[in-house]
Amino acid sequence: MLEAAHWAPSHGRTEPWRWVVFEGEARRRLGEAFAESYARSFSGPDFRPERYKAQLERVWQAPVWIGLGLEPSGRFPEWEEVAAVACAVQNAWLAATALGLAGFWTSGRPVVHEHTARVCGLTPPARLLGFLYLGYPAEPLPQGVRSDWRRKVVWNP
């Protein structure tokens, strides 16, 4: 999966993706990072103890969590580097699907918070774009649904 991700395109071959894999008991440290980042993001009346607890426990929803890091080269616009990471994630996701795995790209304040990024070993200008969490599906995956692709294409005359 990660080798497939590594073959994604990037402008100038900058390869800006960085992966941080959490599995087994290492997920506990990740859950603690999510919870601490939640506490740093929400204080006073916005802080909800049940959401703090949910951050601690969410890591047990899947056996593998992969941090999606971006280390920009500084040579090209950052949006191009973010797009390259997204292409790499797509490659990983396709490989995971071919292996019979299900995945989900999650983000949100606690997930991409600078504290969580530091726990992942990412320091500025590197940053965290989220996590891809993976496991075997508990039930059959639903069929994908899309509108007609032709409605999104304009052919030049």
pLDDT score, position 116: 98
pLDDT score, position 89: 98
What token pair was written down for 146? 């899309």
Which residues, other chains included, contact 113 with Cβ-Cβ below 8 Å and sequence gap of 6+? 37, 40, 41, 128
Q: How far apart, in whole angstroms, are the C-alpha atoms of residue 80 and residue 89? A: 14
- Distance between first and last Cα of the chain: 41
pLDDT score, position 49: 96
DSSP label at residue 76: S
Q: How far apart, in whole angstroms, are the C-alpha atoms of residue 28 and residue 122? A: 18
pLDDT tens over the chain, length 157 residues: 999 999 999 999 999 999 999 999 999 999 999 999 999 999 899 999 999 999 999 999 999 999 999 999 999 999 999 999 999 999 999 999 999 999 999 999 999 999 999 999 999 999 999 999 999 999 998 888 999 999 999 999 8
What token pair was written down for 103? 């995945």
